[in-house]
Chains A and B, each alone.
Chain A
């Protein structure tokens, strides 16, 4: 276990160095958030019908999305991708640790460090200036915190799975942009999931992606009551386990037929 913690720490500290990138990212995400809030405000002003979410809830949802966007497993670990493509993954194989565990530890760092750099100033700004609401109460706040931890695990499991898939696709770009599409839609990054049409909701509920953004957000604002937290977090953790198992199985298959180019 100590080895994995050390890997996580090293990667985490390395990622914290990218402060200029974080600043640029922060500005971009504030801009995006403002535009999206204006769009939703205009939509809500144009319709009097009852919606599954109120405008203030949607605004909070948008700012939470902007703050935690970097948690989404959009792409595999870039270093691992490079290792596989160059054949240097051979060095990884001789290390005295479990390969999938190693990549998982790296993925946890990749999904937390950039978020930490961005989310605090973002939340402060959104909360004080842009109309983001606080958590609905102490219990929702607690449920949010627990669910967010499960989100990190789920996101890391997906990242590691994507990294492993590089063994099969090599160029990566195509498959990964397909993943980005599904991920953006089904996690709530494009529009809050309750606003999607009714006929797609059963699919949304089954897939793991809602656990990446939607679940913690709705717990935060009490849109999902704290009593529902157990089931919601259970869904996240169940998928985490399934994705880790899938990643391990795929990796074992890949390693059975991998031929490392010399040179």
Chain B
């Protein structure tokens, strides 16, 4: 385990050194990313400026959901880039080389990329999160803060899990399916607002199929002391585990998919 971490550190160091050779490009990429997500945030702010609240949720409360969802996705994007471009590995046949090395394939795929340009979303998400925590008086050591941080990690695991599933499909289809963007980017779009405003179908999907609800809404309701209730309270406190569990299941699916891998031989 420790040894794996050390190896991962080496991979990341190499990736970082490579990307920092193009410093201007990284800075511009991060700024652009910040701009795109920032403009979306402005749109959200403008709606609250006009309507005041959404089903009893104020801007400061929704900001907590927004910050948690975006930090989760940003972390997954930065770490999980390898899975998102995985179809190239299959297409070129380079995946064969990964099979020969003495580490798990999922580990190697994840370690091969580390996308610095996505820190734009991370910075913006963190800023909104800190604003929300300060506004709610939650930025102090306590069980609530632990739950928030834990759920963000759990959420990042959930997004990573979806990236892994998306990559797994490439074992069968060679191409990776753009449809998964609905779950990741559509998911973060959905999770920026309280899940309770949506129709039943969407709510069930993001609770029971892809458990994004546990990345922010379920723990958020408890932390904010909102009247919406979701199951027993202990379930909310176990939110981080749901994401980790989902990630574990996705990795099992990856193992199964791997068995069907046929090299393109090119």
Contacts and interface: CB of A to CB of B under 8 A. Distances in A.
A47 B198 contact: no
Interface string A194-208: 011100000000000
A35 interface: yes
Nearest to A41: B197
A82 B53 CA distance: 47
A171 B32 CA distance: 13
Interface size class of A (residues with CB under 8 A): 35 or more
Chain A at the B interface: mostly helix, strand, loop or mixed? helix
A4 B19 CA distance: 41
A28 B36 contact: no
Interface string B18-59: 000010110111011101101110110011011111111000
Nearest to A175: B28
A191 B47 contact: yes
B199 interface: yes
A128 interface: no
A182 B40 CA distance: 10
Contacts of B2: none
B177 interface: yes
B182 interface: yes
Given A47-B52, A171-B28, A178-B32, A21 B38 contact: no
Nearest to B193: A39
Nearest to B57: A46
A25 B178 contact: yes
A197 B50 CA distance: 7
Contact of B202 (A21, A28, A34, A197): A34
B36 A177 contact: yes
Interface string B163-206: 00000000000000111011000100110010001110010000
Nearest to B183: A31
Interface string A9-39: 0000000000001001101100110110011
A197 B46 CA distance: 6
Interface of A: 21, 24-25, 27-28, 31-32, 34-35, 38-39, 42-47, 49, 51, 171, 173-178, 180-182, 184-185, 190-191, 195-197
Q: Considering the complex of A and B, which 8 residue pairs feature the smallest CB-CB distances, nearest first?
A: A174-B28, A177-B32, A181-B35, A42-B197, A190-B43, A181-B39, A47-B51, A24-B178
Given A35-B186, A46-B54, A190-B43, 8 more contacts: A24-B177, A51-B50, A178-B31, A180-B32, A181-B38, A182-B35, A185-B42, A190-B39
